[in-house]
Each structure stands twice: as structure tokens, then as C-alpha cells.
């Protein structure tokens, strides 16, 4: 795969994840339960996967690498948020964490787009 293709693929992954975060955030703020929100369930599962020691969930592993979550404690923080998204216990703190995740993903997308433009 060419460098442009590789970076484009990375950008697409970041974009898809950002869309998932946006959907979960919207549903959370609208009070949509995890049972009725596929975005909350999918993102919750993805984030919970960050806490697994064996990182068998490929999407979780990719997200951890993309965001530089190499410390177990960092991954566990996001995993805890995933657990919260899968329950009805989400609150304003959960919204703030999701907004932080959305910002991190946006920054990574901008970084990848800048690399693509330089190629």
C-alpha cells in the first residue's frame, strides 16, 4: 500500500471513530438508553476493549495506538467510560470525557490530513 493509501486508511478509521463518538455523545445528551442506542453500545464495547490485557479486539487496539494510550492506567480510564456508556449510569462527567475523546480524534485527523497533503 502506498504512503498516501496508508494515511488515507488511517484517516478513515479516525473519521469512523469520531462519527461513533458523535453519535454516542448525542444519544447520551438526549437521554437515549444504551439499549436503544447502537452508538453507545458500539462505542462502549470498543472502549471496554481498551482495558483488556490481551487486546484481542482489533478496533480497540487500533484506537489505543492512534491515541497513544500505551499506559495501562490510561486505557483503563477509557475502558471505565465504556462500561458507563453500556449502563444507564452515564452523567455530565461522561459527556465531558466523550467531548475530550472527540477533540483527541479531531486533532489526530488534522495531523493525518496534514501528512497526506505533504505527500
Q: Is this structure's pTM higher than 0.85?
A: yes
- Percentages (nearest 5) of helix, strand, coil residues in the chain: 75, 0, 25
The pLDDT score that the predictor gives to residue 81 is 94
Mean pLDDT score of the chain: 89
**What does the DSSP assignment read for 56-77?**
--HHHHHHHHHTT--SHHHHHH
Radius of gyration for the alpha carbons in the chain, expressed in angstroms and rounded: 15
pLDDT at 80 over 90: yes
Domain-wise residue ranges, the chain: 3-118
- pLDDT for 2-60, tens place per residue? 888 888 888 998 999 999 999 999 999 999 999 999 999 999 999 998 887 766 666 78
Cα–Cα dist 21/94, whole Å? 12
Amino acid at each position: 500500500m502506498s504512503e498516501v493509501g496508508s494515511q488515507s486508511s488511517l484517516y478513515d478509521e479516525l473519521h469512523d471513530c469520531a462519527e461513533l463518538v458523535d453519535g454516542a455523545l448525542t444519544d447520551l445528551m438526549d437521554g437515549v438508553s444504551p439499549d436503544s442506542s447502537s452508538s453507545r453500545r458500539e462505542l462502549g464495547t470498543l472502549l471496554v476493549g481498551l482495558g483488556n490485557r490481551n487486546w484481542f479486539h482489533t478496533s480497540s487496539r487500533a484506537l489505543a495506538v492512534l491515541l497513544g494510550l500505551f499506559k495501562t492506567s490510561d486505557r483503563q480510564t477509557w475502558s471505565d467510560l465504556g462500561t458507563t456508556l453500556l449502563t444507564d449510569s452515564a452523567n455530565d462527567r461522561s459527556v465531558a470525557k466523550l467531548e475530550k475523546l472527540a477533540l483527541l480524534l479531531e486533532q489526530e485527523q488534522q495531523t493525518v490530513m496534514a501528512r497526506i497533503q505533504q505527500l
